Amino acid sequence: MQTTQIRLTARPVGEPKDSDVETATVDLPELAEGEVLLRTIYLSLDPYMRGRMSAAKSYAKPVELGDVMEGGTVCEVLESRSDRRAVGDIVLAYTGWQTHGVAQARHTRRLDPAEAPVSTALGVLGMPGFTAYAGLLEIGRPAEGETVVVAAATGPVGSAVGQIARLKGARAVGIAGGPEKCRLLVEEYGFDAAIDHRSESFADDLAAATPDGIDVYFENVAGPVGEAALRRMNTYGRVPVCGLVANYNATEAPHSDFTFPGFFSNVLVKSLTVRGFIQDEFTRTHHEAFLAEMARWVGDGSVRHREDVVDGLENALEAFRGLLTGRNLGKLLVRVGDDPTA
């Protein structure tokens, strides 16, 4: 069996370029005991992949030059040398930017298409949904009547943060790029207010939408948006630091008037809790509850979600560039092959 794969060939400077990757078709090895041969149906594109392209020290190792780009996938089992998985099973795997892959069966999770569309295992019922759930409930801890603010709010993390906040009785204010995304936040996701970060009046609009200040700022983006939100925090406010997507393509340190001493003074005088996290630290403690509770919320319509599906592995890099600049509307997926469950 052959696979067509997208490999990283250079460390991007700024926005990833076509010349930073190559496409190659190669033979896959014969299956060893315990392994499965997988055909990719959906590839998840996520902001963290920009970090994997870089050699800068981070919480996970970078993708080596010449290696296939990493990524979560939903796949069909084509061959199995394990009792755990049968031919025809649909599984969640981590086979990356390629059409086929070989994985240890025990590193895959079987999905039941009768329970939810299989693509949701990469979005609202997958890693991004879990990030929102664990980060908001464990670190943000929104209480009834409090104000929760999140940016990248139409994305899979942000949209879940706002909707879960509302389920906990908090007021949800979403920040997004452009009037269409803002309309969606209020009309489809039920946010109490939405603010366009591209508007000239952004800081004033944020102040108007948060008249009682901000109790929880779920940090997804950093940059001027994060600064404006941090300046409006209430005493004992909580800041789960989830992502800094505004900086991921940066080639130099971002300019800011909100310097390190100013930031720390704010943390001190308002007794803020600022806590970074990588979602998998909560897997053992929260994942089971997440799967049960989120599936119920999605099933009864109290959490809504959107997918932005791009066809063809060859379009993955262009779609990924769009993810970092806000061209996506909802969870960004690449349909690499036919979905037999659709």
Q: Which residues bind ligand NAP (CB under 6 A)?
A: 46-48, 128, 131, 151-152, 154-158, 176-177, 181, 197, 220-221, 223, 225, 242-243, 245-246, 277-279, 323-324, 326, 328, 332
Closest separation between CB of residue 244 and ligand NAP, Å? 6
Helix (H) or strand (E) holding 288: helix 283-299
Closest separation between CB of residue 90 and ligand NAP, Å? 22
The residue (of 36 and 45) whose beta carbon lies closer to ligand NAP is 45
Closest separation between CB of residue 115 and ligand NAP, Å? 22
Closest separation between CB of residue 221 and ligand NAP, Å? 4
The residue (of 75 and 246) whose beta carbon lies closer to ligand NAP is 246
Closest separation between CB of residue 240 and ligand NAP, Å? 9
d(CA 158, CA 228): 17
Going by C-alpha positions, the residue among 331, 328, 316 that lies closest to residue 53 is 316
- Residue 13 makes CB contacts below 8 A (sequence gap 6+) with 251
The residue (of 31 and 245) whose beta carbon lies closer to ligand NAP is 245
> What does the block give as tokens for 309?
């599906």
- Written in H, E and C, the secondary structure of 45-68 is CCCHHHHHCCCCCCCCCCCCCCCE
The residue (of 79 and 196) whose beta carbon lies closer to ligand NAP is 196
Closest separation between CB of residue 268 and ligand NAP, Å? 25
Query: Pseudo-torsion of CA 60, 64, 67, 71, nearest 10°?
Result: 20
- C-alpha angle with apex 274: 271 to 280, nearest 5 degrees? 150
The residue (of 79 and 280) whose beta carbon lies closer to ligand NAP is 280
The residue (of 52 and 197) whose beta carbon lies closer to ligand NAP is 197
Going by C-alpha positions, the residue among 160, 127, 142 that lies closest to residue 279 is 127
> What does the block give as tokens for 131?
């990030």
